[in-house]
Structure 1
Amino acid sequence: MRGDVPVMDADTMSIDLRSTMDIQITALEWMPFEDGYLKYYPDEDRDVYLKQCPDGALEVSPERYRGRVMAEFDYPLSEVYGGDNEILLRSKEFYKNCWVLKLQDPYISLIITILTQNKTADSARRTFYRLQHRYKGIDVHKMASADKHELEELIRTSGPYKADFIIRCSQEIIDRYNGSIEWMRSVPSREAREALLGLYGVGPKTADCVLLFSLGHSVVPVDTHICRVSERTGLSMATGDTEAAKRKVKEDLEQRRRIPGMAHLLIINLGRDFCKAVLPLHHCCPVEGICPKRGTGIRKEKKLTEE
């Protein structure tokens, strides 16, 4: 969590909508549509469209939803890290117009994260949008009683086998926790994580995403991309992306460097935009000059194309 920081009004701040929508689970309720993003609000059975205009302003349609939409923008990435690591300090300055969206319902976060397992974010977004429309808003009881074959068809592009995950873990939440995982906000992170890992179809990254983006626990979700960037930048001395390496990276980031959970979004952005798996863009990376580039010795740097 951020701690005591000034409340910022997203309506008066510069926002990079693409970066904001591309890096966090809380943004996956917004589906790419035309030049912007579409979100279904089940309480009013309404789609709302959001796009960024050429002058940087955000346009919301219908306009009467503007206040509701802008309230979802919580704070910029410039606030997620207050330490002295130069890699992260440069990154947060570079991504200062990327915003963290507010915490969402933890059950919604759980379902979206399951849909992202081994799939792209865009695939999960489109699948979630279909689910929301079909069920007029999903909740634990609707999913626990969903017809498995119908659900398999609805989520086919994100993996039909996940229908079993969704139905069974929803039933477990009802049976074990009276239909809610909200109680996990007020218990230690370790206890909440163990409870989530005990649900069918929930692995370490899924559990950590739910803890961070919906339950307010400052944990660092670790995947292949976090491993790669952490190794190259020296944030972790782990190598590779085995399960053992992921545990080491998580330990290094959370305990040795004491990086707040939301600060891992800076690492994700670096990986997506510059520290790519095959052709890292050293020439234009915001941490060029201070990055040790561990493990990139045999890689070829992608060169600028002259226009």
Structure 2
Amino acid sequence: MLPRTSPLTDSNVSLNTVFEKMLEHYGPQDWWPGESPLEIMIGAVLTQNTSWKNVEKAIANLKDADLVHLGRLDTTRVEELAEIIRPSGYYRLKAKRLHNLVSHVMSKYDGDLEWMFSHDVSTLREELLAINGIGPETADSILLYAGNLKTFVVDAYTARILKRHGWIEWEADYHQIQEHFVNEVPAEVEHYNEFHALIVRTGNEFCRKTPKCQGCPLECYLPESGIQEPI
């Protein structure tokens, strides 16, 4: 196993250069999609292991049922909620996770998201991670996009892009990758938001499980030996 204190490779390509290259290619993303903090929180839970297109269908169902509301979500039976969010996949499991999150907000913060997001980001992150079904990526997405709080989101695209280009070791975990970004890029909510959005765009179009490197804005930074793969 790689020591937690040394996840970096010898690459001299800075993350700020990577950001500028993607921004030049795509322009600002104005992301994450959602009309309210609650809708963004719902999306963060539902997007686990599925496409955003499926999430949009599930959220549309919730809107049709007038359930993008903390109080009404809290009193909706998990079984009923599962059927409503069926398009998101793993809908029974996600219904439980969403209900756990909503119950926490209702019981600890009386359904007041503004009050909830006024708390220290580190403390709030620990709270979210203690909720059954909320992992680091979901917690950080909620904090950054719904709460407008300073935390960097790491997803599968982020890890894949960095590792394939040789910018971080293959053994690096979520927290090592997150620390790499925090140490290198401007510590601003807007910058974290834009950077992650550009990564998602690049990953979705080019750095999929089967890579499509031609035309990718980061193609020029691939090692001479080609895409890095785990040993």
TM over 0.5: yes
The two structures, once aligned, show a CA RMSD in angstroms of 2.7
Alpha-carbon distance, 1:147 to partner: 2.3
Q: 1:248 aligns to what? A: 176
Pairing of 1:87-166 with structure 2 (within 5 A): 87-96=18-27, 98-100=29-31, 104-134=35-65, 136-158=66-88, 159-166=91-98
Q: Tell me if structure 1 keeps the 8 A contact 2:165–2:228.
A: no
Alpha-carbon distance, 1:249 to partner: 0.8
Q: 1:225 aligns to what? A: 157
Q: Which amino acid aligns with 2:74?
A: A
Q: How many Å separate the matches in 1 of 2:36 and 2:138?
A: 15
Alpha-carbon distance, 1:230 to partner: 1.7
Distance 1:293 1:97, change over 3 A: farther
Runs of 4+ residues deviating >6 angstroms: none
Q: Secondary structure of 1:167's match?
A: helix
Alpha-carbon distance, 1:208 to partner: 0.6
Alpha-carbon distance, 1:204 to partner: 1.0
Alpha-carbon distance, 1:149 to partner: 2.4
Q: 2:7 aligns to what? A: none
Q: Tell me if structure 2 keeps the 8 A contact 1:87–1:291.
A: no
Q: How many Å separate the matches in 2 of 1:205 and 1:288?
A: 26
Q: 1:191 aligns to what? A: 123
Q: Secondary structure of 2:27's match?
A: coil
Higher relative contact order structure (alpha carbons within 8 Å, sequence separation ≥ 6): 2
Q: Tell me if structure 2 keeps the 8 A contact 1:173–1:180.
A: yes
Distance 1:232 1:209, change over 3 A: same
Q: Secondary structure of 1:186's match?
A: coil
CA offset digits 1:220-253 (Å, max 9, x no partner): 211221100122345x41315xxx5222111111
Q: Which amino acid aligns with 1:245?
A: D
Instruction: Structure 1 unaligned segments of length 5 or more: list them.
Output: 1-82, 299-307
Distance 1:228 1:102, change over 3 A: closer
The structure number with the bigger radius of gyration is 1
Q: Tell me if structure 2 keeps the 8 A contact 1:220–1:250.
A: yes
Q: Which amino acid aligns with 2:125?
A: R
Alpha-carbon distance, 1:143 to partner: 0.8
Q: Tell me if structure 2 keeps the 8 A contact 1:106–1:182.
A: no
CA offset digits 1:35-88 (Å, max 9, x no partner): xxxxxxxxxxxxxxxxxxxxxxxxxxxxxxxxxxxxxxxxxxxxxxxx983222
The answer to which structure has the higher helix fraction is: 2
Alpha-carbon distance, 1:101 to partner: 5.8
Q: How many Å separate the matches in 1 of 2:135 and 2:160?
A: 20
CA offset digits 1:157-198 (Å, max 9, x no partner): 322222222223322221111112322433332122112223
Q: Which amino acid aligns with 2:58?
A: T
Alpha-carbon distance, 1:120 to partner: 1.6
State the TM-score, normalized to the length of structure 2.
0.79
Q: How many Å separate the matches in 2 of 1:294 and 1:257?
A: 27
Q: How many Å separate the matches in 1 of 2:68 and 2:34?
A: 17
Distance 1:168 1:284, change over 3 A: closer
Q: 1:182 aligns to what? A: 114
Alpha-carbon distance, 1:145 to partner: 0.5
